[in-house]
Amino acid sequence: MTLVMKFGGTSVGSASAMRSTAELILTYREQFGNVVVIASGMGTKPIKVTDLLLGGANAAADGDTDTYRQNGALLRDINAATIRELLTTEQKAIIAENDAMIGRFENICQAVSYLGELSPRALDAVGGLGEQMSVPIVAALLREMGHDAEAIDATELIVTDSHHTNAAPDFAATQTKAAARLRPILDRGGIPIVTGFIAADADGVTTTLGRGGSDYSASIIGQVLGADEVWIWTDVDGVMTTDPRIVDNAQSIPTLTFREVSELAYYGAKVLHPKTMRPCVEGNIPLRIKNTFNPDHPGTVIMEHAAASHGAIKAVTAIRDLRLITVEGKGMMGVPGVAARTFSAVADADINVLLITQASSEQSICFATSAGTTESTLNALETEFVDELKNRDIDRIWAMNPVSIVTIVGAGMRGTAGISGRVFTALHSINIIAIAQGSSECSISIVVDDHDASPAIKLLHDLIVTQ
């Protein structure tokens, strides 16, 4: 059996976290036989190594040569302290290896500051250094504990296109490369420790899979190796019924379907890198989310056909600070193509639409976008409908003040009568501005004033707890 396990920033964020991580790796290797580990860069709140690296590079591009130097010095301190606490035999070698990476970071930043320009390719070269520093530490720690572990740079495994900062994997090429590199290690009983987040294009140039992309690295490797399970180790007990900062009796959800997780991620729950699911769906590989700091908790299992408890609402989430844009006019009725023109104008302006509603009277179309794009959305629509606005076929195009989309998710709602009744009864004290239900019937989204979002979440969460 093969298990791919990804350890996030906090799971490798300190010497003690790394020690627990090493113990977990060994425990589950006993159970599964083969374990492949993917690790993120160190990330103990509030210091996240990837942020220090990218922040330094961005500052350098703006001519600030202090930030990257300070960040470099800080990284040297953090890494050396962690390594000294964990390693003896390999201490010197790993500190030197880490120092060389930091030296590279400083050199690139210096070049960036001279040029006054930061290319996406340079951003990837810098961003991936966090993983390239943490992985050798974990591998050396396991070796010092008496096990055969090897640090592997994912540029040797994952092949992507050259779309820097958000590269897409070539699965066929990755399968060949990853199997050739990883199988011999597994066959001799070794443990590969692989950098998350980074990959390389066909020319071998470093790319990254997007921020938070280590989750995706794990599912890519899981798929190409035909793993039996992929586990994401993080610092919470799996996917929660809602944000525990809003509702204190938020609970961990035992099982979710891939579809439910996609819906949750889309509507603002920060669960996994959004592309993580696809390789697992294709490989039919269960994906488990577990807590490094509470490893006995079963966490959440995500699979194709998770128990869809009948009628159940599983989670409630929200995206805040959105704007509801309305195109309104009595003359719109029966004018063909208003919806098509509205959304193509919005798409041409590169604006992401999160929710759409149109009443059947056809007198208005309304949709939600993020606050930052309000101006450009209104401009795009005013240009598109300049004639209709003049003729008064369209009366006005306007944006409503900060709103939130509150979404409840649960595949078991499909075909179950009475769910929306329960939802709207629970929300009787809240003013509902718009409603949308996907035809998948896997979620219901409600638009409310920003101030009403937390109260709405609390009321809806009570439905989950009491159902």
Shortest distance in whole angstroms from residue 217 CB to Mg ion: 11
- Among the listed ranges 183-191, 209-217, 282-290, 456-464, the one in contact with Mg ion (CB under 5 A) is 209-217
Residue 314 binds: one of Mg ion, ligand ASP, none (C-beta under 5 to 8 A by kind): none
Picked from ligand ASP, Mg ion, none, the partner binding residue 192 (CB below 5 to 8 A depending on kind) is none
Size of the site for Mg ion (CB under 5 A): 1
- Please say which residue, 175 or 276, places its beta carbon nearer to Mg ion: 276
d(CA 78, CA 74): 6
How many whole angstroms separate alpha carbon 212 and alpha carbon 40?
9
Residue 241 interaction partner, one of ligand ASP, Mg ion, none, beta carbon < 5-8 Å per kind: none
When binding is defined by CB under 5 A, the residue of 128, 196, 212, 329 that contacts Mg ion is 212
| CB closer to Mg ion out of 190 and 268 | 268
How far apart CA 6 and CA 28 sit, in angstroms, is: 13
Q: What does DSSP assign to residue 411?
A: G
CA distance 59 to 86: 32
Q: Closer to Mg ion by CB, 72 or 212: give it.
A: 212
We find the least distance from the C-beta atom of residue 211 to ligand ASP, in angstroms, to be 4
Between 181 and 211, whose beta carbon lies closer to ligand ASP? 211
Q: Long-range contact list for 181-187, CB < 8 A, 24+ apart?
A: 181/152, 181/156, 181/157, 182/36, 182/152, 182/157, 182/221, 182/225, 185/150, 185/152, 186/2, 186/34, 186/36
Residue 50 contact partner, candidates ligand ASP, Mg ion, none, CB within 5 to 8 A by sort of partner:
ligand ASP
Q: Least CB distance from residue 286 to Mg ion, whole Å?
A: 19
The window from 107-115, 175-183, 207-215, 374-382 that contacts Mg ion (CB under 5 A) reads 207-215
Q: Residue 255 touches which of ligand ASP, Mg ion, none (CB < 5 to 8 A by kind)?
A: none
Where does this chain bind ligand ASP (CB under 6 A)? 9, 40-41, 48, 50, 130, 196-197, 211-214
- For residue 148, what are its two tokens? 């055969």
2 and 228 Cβ atoms separated by less than 8 Å: yes
197 binds, among Mg ion, ligand ASP, none (CB under 5 to 8 A by kind): ligand ASP
Both structure tokens of 149: 């572990």
| Minimum CB distance to ligand ASP, residue 206 (Å) | 13
The option from Mg ion, ligand ASP, none interacting with 72 (CB < 5 to 8 A, set by class) reads none
Provide φ and ψ at 174, rounded to 5°: -65, -40
Nearer to Mg ion among residue 212 and residue 222 (C-beta) = 212
Residue 453 CB, shortest distance to Mg ion, in Å, is 24
- Both tokens of 65, joined, read 């040569």
Min CB(245)–Mg ion separation in Å = 17
Whether residue 424 contacts residue 463, with contact meaning beta carbons closer than 8 Å, is answered with: no
CA gap 404, 401 in Å, rounded: 10
d(CA 264, CA 274): 10
Angstrom distance (rounded) from CA 324 to CA 404? 9
Dist. CA 357–CA 326, nearest whole Å: 10
Instruction: Select the binding partner of residue 128 from ligand ASP, Mg ion, none (C-beta < 5 to 8 A, by kind).
Output: none
Least Å distance, CB 356 to Mg ion, is 29
| Residues of the shown chain interacting with Mg ion in the complex, contacts defined by CB under 5 A | 212
